[in-house]
């Protein structure tokens, strides 16, 4: 089954996004050859990017989530566009975390202490950027805190990556639910009760429940839910030979000539998809 994200509203005071990102997380884990701890944490960050970027409107809009951590995996970054195409990098993809891998608090063990930065490039004069410290050591909780602190939006975020005993990814997904301005105490209480009693999303997905069932009968139970759209998110880089050729031309001419003399070609590698491109002198128009 392809990955899916659905969005909608409930009781005209709540908006939601919920996604199954299993296949795109599997693809990212394979591309970057991630250790188990990194697959879990980077997978959560990819799911968070899909959810946070789900309301981008224009074709050129971009949203980036960046974690500057001091843990063994270093920094991590994901970027998503309005078509739910996401890509990302993590500094040390093969680093091993010394923690119980199934615990949510592996996030802190892998990424360490640091900050979460969310950048929205909406085609204006300058991108909007907000930043908060990672005070919980858990990506879902820390992004929830980001929305409350940086954007003053009451938000609940749930993220999960479920793995097989051998480390392969079984399920990955997440939800993002926000109360709209002037929400009623009644809707806030219903939402709080539903979320507090909700199990892990990936466990429920693994049981075979659909996103629609989960949102209507679990997370937003007792509310009138309106599903307003859906999309198929995917891990897609967007690099190309022509883009990489332009990048090579930004190097100093002396550096290019030295490398061509030594090897006969210039090789560049895309850090988002690990694809390599080789260029010979005649292609570079030197």
Per-residue pLDDT, 134? 92
Per-residue pLDDT, 156? 97
Of the pLDDT bands very low, low, confident and very high (cuts 50, 70, 90), residue 1 is confident
Q: Cα separation of 157 and 177, whole Å? A: 7
Of the pLDDT bands very low, low, confident and very high (cuts 50, 70, 90), residue 254 is confident
- The pLDDT of 131-151, averaged and rounded, is 93
Same domain for 173 and 264, yes or no, is no
* pTM, rounded to two decimals: 0.92
Per-residue pLDDT, 103? 47
Same domain for 174 and 200, yes or no, is yes
163 vs 77, 111, 139, 192, CA distance in Å? 22, 19, 18, 28
Per-residue pLDDT, 105? 54
More confident residue, 9 or 74: 9
pLDDT in tens, 157-212: 999 999 988 889 999 999 999 999 989 999 999 999 999 999 999 999 999 999 99
Total domains in the fold of the chain:
2
Same domain for 260 and 131, yes or no, is no
Per-residue pLDDT, 107? 81
Of the pLDDT bands very low, low, confident and very high (cuts 50, 70, 90), residue 7 is very high
Same domain for 254 and 196, yes or no, is no
Same domain for 127 and 67, yes or no, is yes
Q: Cα separation of 128 and 110, whole Å? A: 28
**What residues make up the domain containing 261?**
241-284
Q: What is the CATH number of the domain that holds 274?
A: 3.90.1280.10
- The pLDDT of 98-124, averaged and rounded, is 76
Same domain for 102 and 186, yes or no, is yes
Of the pLDDT bands very low, low, confident and very high (cuts 50, 70, 90), residue 97 is low
Per-residue pLDDT, 34? 93
Same domain for 137 and 209, yes or no, is yes
Sign of CA dihedral 94, 134, 155, 217: positive
Same domain for 219 and 77, yes or no, is yes
Same domain for 97 and 139, yes or no, is yes
Question: Residue 128 pLDDT > 60, yes or no?
Answer: yes
pLDDT in tens, 32-89: 999 988 999 999 999 999 999 999 999 889 999 999 988 888 899 999 999 999 999 9
Of the pLDDT bands very low, low, confident and very high (cuts 50, 70, 90), residue 224 is very high
Q: What is the CATH number of the domain that holds 85?
A: 3.55.30.10
Same domain for 187 and 245, yes or no, is no
Of the pLDDT bands very low, low, confident and very high (cuts 50, 70, 90), residue 98 is low
Per-residue pLDDT, 249? 82
Per-residue pLDDT, 115? 94
Of the pLDDT bands very low, low, confident and very high (cuts 50, 70, 90), residue 131 is very high
């Amino acid at each position: 089954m392809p990955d899916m994200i659905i969005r909608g509203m409930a009781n005209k005071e709540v908006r939601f996004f919920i996604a199954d990102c299993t296949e795109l997380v599997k693809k990212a884990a394979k591309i970057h050859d991630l250790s188990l701890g990194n697959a879990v944490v980077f997978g959560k960050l990819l799911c968070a990017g899909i959810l946070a970027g789900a309301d981008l409107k224009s074709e050129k809009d971009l949203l980036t989530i960046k974690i500057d951590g001091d843990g063994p995996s270093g920094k991590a970054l994901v970027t998503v566009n309005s078509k739910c195409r996401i890509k990302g990098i993590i500094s040390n993809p093969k680093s091993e975390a010394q923690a119980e891998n199934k615990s949510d608090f592996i996030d802190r063990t892998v990424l360490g202490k640091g900050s979460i930065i969310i950048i929205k490039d909406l085609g204006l004069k300058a991108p909007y950027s907000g930043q908060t410290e990672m005070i919980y050591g858990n990506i879902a909780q820390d992004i929830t805190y980001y929305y409350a602190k940086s954007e003053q939006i009451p938000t609940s975020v749930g993220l999960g990556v479920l793995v097989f005993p051998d480390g392969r990814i079984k399920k990955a997904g997440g939800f993002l639910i926000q109360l709209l301005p002037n929400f009623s105490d009644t809707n806030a209480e219903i939402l709080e009760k539903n979320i507090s009693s909700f199990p892990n999303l990936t466990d429920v997905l693994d049981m075979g429940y659909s996103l629609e069932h989960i949102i209507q009968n679990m997370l937003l139970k007792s509310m009138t839910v309106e599903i307003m759209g859906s999309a198929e998110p995917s891990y897609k880089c967007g690099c190309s030979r022509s883009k990489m050729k332009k990048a090579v031309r930004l190097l100093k001419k002396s550096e290019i000539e030295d490398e061509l003399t030594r090897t006969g070609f210039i090789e560049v590698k895309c850090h988002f998809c690990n694809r390599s491109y080789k260029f010979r002198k005649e292609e570079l128009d030197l």
